[in-house]
Structure 1
Amino acid sequence: MRELTLKSRGLYRCEVSEEAPSFHSAQSEAFMEVYYFPRETPRITGHERAYQLKEPLDVNCSSAKSFPAPDLQWVVDGQKITDRSWLIAFGAKPASQGLLVSTLGLRAPTKQRMKLKCVATIGSHRRERTVIIEVSSSSWNKPFSLLIIIALKIVCVKIS
């Protein structure tokens, strides 16, 4: 079959016939889906900013344009995230030419180093993107040193 579009999905029948002298024939029908697999890996946003230790991680994964909308999943440090309280499903949004883009958010506590992977799947076809987030020790020490300065200031006020 050639020149298929997303609108080409439907019930199709195929018939095979022998030539003379028997002219036997067989036919079968089935529903056909047309898939458009993403050409790019998913895009992860929100990982670029500096995070402090234990601050909630706020990242999103968006699939490339495809049809049907891919299923998305997050894998953190090799563990698939199934805790729904960490996931925000934005669902599929229409894109050009009848294609769809899926987005899935991840809200989780940060650790010193995290390996985040987003996997987009349509049937047995999969695309994935991985990013590493490293919380610098200087960024998580700052709130502690600020707390000490504030505490010393309060103590100084009480003494004088």
Structure 2
Amino acid sequence: MEHQRNTARCCLLVTILLITTGGVHGLRDVELKVPAAVSPGDTVTLICRYDLEGEPLYTVKWYKGREEFYRYIPKEHPHTLVFPLPAVNVDMSKSGADKVVLMGVSTELAGKYRCEVSADAPNFHTQVVSAHMQVVDKLVGDPELILEKSRYAVGDTLRGNCTSPPHIPPANVTVLLNGRKVQPSFLYRWKQEDGKSITRIGLESKVTHAGKLHVLCIADLYNVFKTQSEVTLEEDRPRLASVLGTRQSTSVGVGSGSSSGRGIFVMESWQFILLSVSTLFFSR
């Protein structure tokens, strides 16, 4: 009797060791890759990766929301099956066991997608993963970058603002100074009569290093669609006094310094202050 008990304990121990040390294999590492954002009319590839660890594949099912629209079954012929779903147009020739290709996507296809992978007998392990995709129009036009002056010296404060093109949904706006992100001094957002929103952020940063200043303003949607405006400002170095003992004020305007992109303006200080005050007044 004692011998039988010892044998049973040994068998149980071996079983536990097999499970904990990977002796039993199965489906794992299921991963869904979906673009964060696409434009209407695009062709989109959704990828579902998985590791069966030697088990046979039973089926891969694809869902938009709660509705199944595509299924891959390797044991059946044909291997693929498409379920009618409004606005869903599957490219059967390019879809397969680990991906599905959608042609001519519309705004209706924005939302949550799921991939359900199932291993075959004897275990029938199943895993489900999900991801979201947005369908939006691309940004039209570059952001408008306005700076107070065209030259700056160490110790000066760089002031300006950047305004995004109008869009639904509103674009995010980021300003980089010599490659580094600058924390906005203010953020306004308002909606036009056509429903499109505009975002404006303020720039106020102390100049701590000598040399040229490179200012880059980026408007983006979901970190996928981007437009930008940039300008390079010269260093305001001390100059020799003229015979009259006066120093000419810097003449500024569009085209001052080295710049690229559209919507870049450099204005006199009084003009910039007037614009900032009017912006604050009308945005309320």
TM bracket, shorter-chain basis: 0.5 to 0.7
Question: Superposed, which structure 2 residues align to 1:1-160 within 5 Å?
Answer: 26=83, 35-81=136-182, 84=183, 87-110=184-207, 111-112=209-210, 113-123=212-222, 124-138=224-238
Larger radius of gyration: 2
Aligned length: 122
Q: Deviations over 1:109-147 (max 9, x none)?
A: 1244210101111121011111111232137x9xxx99x
How far does residue 49 in structure 1 lie from its aligned partner after superposition?
4.7
Task: List alignment gaps of at least 5 residues for structure 2.
Answer: 1-39, 42-64, 70-80, 87-108, 112-133, 247-284
Aligned partners of 2:137, 2:149: CA distance in 1, in Å?
30
How far does residue 37 in structure 1 lie from its aligned partner after superposition?
3.1
Aligned partners of 1:25, 1:38: CA distance in 2, in Å?
34
Cα RMSD between the aligned structures? 3.5
Provide TM-score, normalisation by structure 2: 0.36
Identify the structure with bigger relative contact order (alpha carbons < 8 Å, sequence gap 6+): 1
Aligned partner letter, 1:92: R
Q: Is the CA contact 1:37–1:67 (under 8 Å) kept in the aligned structure 2?
A: no
Aligned partners of 1:99, 1:47: CA distance in 2, in Å?
28
Aligned partner letter, 1:61: C
Aligned partner letter, 1:88: S
Higher helix share: 1
Task: List alignment gaps of at least 5 residues for structure 1.
Answer: 3-10, 16-23, 147-160
In structure 2, the CA distance between the partners of 1:136 and 1:66, relative to structure 1 (3 Å rule), is: same
How far does residue 88 in structure 1 lie from its aligned partner after superposition?
2.0
How far does residue 14 in structure 1 lie from its aligned partner after superposition?
9.9
How far does residue 93 in structure 1 lie from its aligned partner after superposition?
1.1
Aligned partners of 1:58, 1:130: CA distance in 2, in Å?
15
2:125 matched residue in structure 1: none
Provide TM-score, normalisation by structure 1: 0.59
Aligned partners of 1:25, 1:52: CA distance in 2, in Å?
65
Q: Percent identity of the aligned residues?
A: 14
Q: Is the CA contact 1:36–1:68 (under 8 Å) kept in the aligned structure 2?
A: no
Aligned partner letter, 1:97: D
